[in-house]
């Protein structure tokens, strides 16, 4: 299915520096996977906002932004995500930022926005979050497999906290979302 078949007119507004691919999440009602590739900054944030507003207007209330190919987000880009969150919540929905690269997550974290967004380590965890019964409470991301931001060794963490990489011996902080940061 093309983007325009999922959301009519979606690709009418776009930017060369940010590629977006849409996919319906069949397991969850009104859920849209938004696969991002490139970057979101001052120059393309308006086009990005217009596209996501079309998806909201098409009736989607749950959004998973898959960010594993997102190379950079400026403070203006974070403003776009903040605006989406506000609008989606006002429609009774929610959104998840999934599979963020460490350097993109660091921008959210350093600017203090990581605590406002539902950030998940994997796409499966993101889908399961929306599938869960609301009475059960939020699913934990732990145990999680994380990559050391220094040497990229895969490490298993049972909970958040500080850890030492078994490969490069760097001290890492793993937050509640399961992301490893250099301490």
Residues 84 and 54 in one domain: yes
pLDDT of residue 182: 64
C-alpha–C-alpha distance, residues 157 and 130, integer Å: 23
> Is residue 172 located within the same domain as residue 122?
no
Pull the structure tokens for residue 145: 């497999």
pLDDT at residue 137, rounded to an integer? 44
Show the beta-strand stretches assigned E in the chain. 18-24, 31-40, 62-73, 94-98, 118-120, 144-147, 154-157, 161-164, 171-174, 180-182
Q: In DSSP terms, which residues pair with 36 in a beta bridge?
A: 20
Return the minimum-mean-pLDDT range out of 13-27, 78-92, 129-143, 149-163: 129-143
Measured distance CA(42)–CA(63) in Å, rounded: 22
Q: What is the mean predicted confidence (pLDDT) over 146-173?
A: 80
Peptide bond into 171 cis (omega under 30): no
What tens digit of pLDDT does each residue of 118-129 get? 999 899 999 998
Asked which of 100, 118, 137 is the last residue of a domain, the reply is: 137
Mean pLDDT of the chain: 86
Taking the C-alpha atoms of residue 95 and residue 86, their distance in angstroms, rounded to an integer, is 10
If asked whether residues 66 and 144 sit together in one domain, one would say: no
Q: Which domain holds residue 148?
A: 140-183
* 144 and 130 share one domain: no
pLDDT tens digit sequence for 3-61: 999 999 999 887 889 999 999 999 999 999 999 999 999 999 999 999 999 999 999 99
Q: Are 150 and 161 contained in the same domain?
A: yes
Between 12 and 157, the more confident residue is 12
Asked if residue 149 and residue 125 are part of one domain, the reply reads: no
Residues 129 and 48 in one domain: yes
**Are 30 and 11 members of one domain?**
yes
Q: Judge if 73 and 149 occupy the same domain.
A: no
Last residue of a domain, one of 100, 119, 137: 137
Give the total number of structural domains in the chain.
2
Same domain, 99 and 161: no
Task: Please tell me which residue, 179 or 10, carries the higher pLDDT value.
Answer: 10
């Amino acid at each position: 299915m093309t983007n325009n078949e999922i959301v009519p007119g979606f690709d009418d507004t776009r930017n060369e520096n940010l590629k977006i691919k849409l996919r319906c999440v069949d397991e969850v009602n009104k859920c849209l996977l938004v696969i991002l590739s490139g970057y979101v900054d001052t120059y393309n944030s308006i086009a990005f906002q217009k596209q996501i507003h079309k998806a909201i207007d098409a009736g989607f209330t749950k959004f998973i932004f898959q960010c594993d190919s997102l190379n950079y987000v400026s403070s203006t880009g974070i403003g776009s995500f903040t605006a989406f969150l506000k609008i989606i919540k006002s429609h009774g929905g929610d959104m998840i930022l999934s599979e963020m690269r460490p350097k993109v997550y660091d921008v959210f974290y350093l600017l203090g926005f990581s605590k406002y967004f539902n950030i998940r380590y994997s796409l499966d965890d993101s889908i399961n979050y929306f599938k869960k019964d609301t009475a059960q409470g939020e699913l934990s991301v732990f145990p999680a497999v994380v990559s050391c931001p220094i040497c990229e060794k895969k490490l298993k963490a049972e909970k958040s906290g500080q850890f030492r990489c078994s490969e490069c011996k760097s001290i890492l902080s793993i937050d509640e979302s399961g992301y490893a940061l250099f301490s």
